[in-house]
Amino acid sequence: MNIIDVLTKSTINVDLKAKNKIEVLEELSGPISEISNVDQKELVRVLIEREQLGSTGIGGGIGIPHGKLKHLNKLVLGFGLSREGVDFDSIDGRPTHIFFLLVTPENSAGDHLKLLAHIARLLRNEVFKEKLMNVENADDLIRIIQKEDRNEL
């Protein structure tokens, strides 16, 4: 499964205003709740509960918050970029800039894990991360991800 298969332009925010972890989750979950027809408060609650198990700030300026919802029909992905960086309780203690928010139906463990692994693998590439840090708009981001997804095949 490729990132571009589940990322939509409306769930991309290349200019996050959030100043802390909760605000990031709220800001990224808004567009996802709209396109998925799920309650944003429930989505944020699920994401916070997952964060309490351990931060999804994986270090290197990256956060991959994720959660599962009962009433979701399909896997949904959002992207956020904080140019200033946010304290996301990252494992390396450094600010987090790049966020992929993944929300999946409760019964889709396979797809959930495959996409998490794919995102993490791509984000190990420093050149790719640098390109993400410098995107100006959603179209730029989609173009960059499409190219990387093709290279991964």
- Residues with a known catalytic role: 66
Whether 71 and 38 have beta carbons less than 8 Å apart is answered as yes
Alpha-carbon torsion angle 28, 119, 64, 141, nearest 10: -30
Distance spanning both ends of the chain, measured CA to CA: 10
Contact 93, 61 (CB under 8 A): no
Question: How far apart, in Å, are the Cα atoms of 136 and each of 22, 79, 133?
Answer: 24, 13, 9
DSSP H or E run through 52? helix 40-53
66: helix, coil or strand?
strand
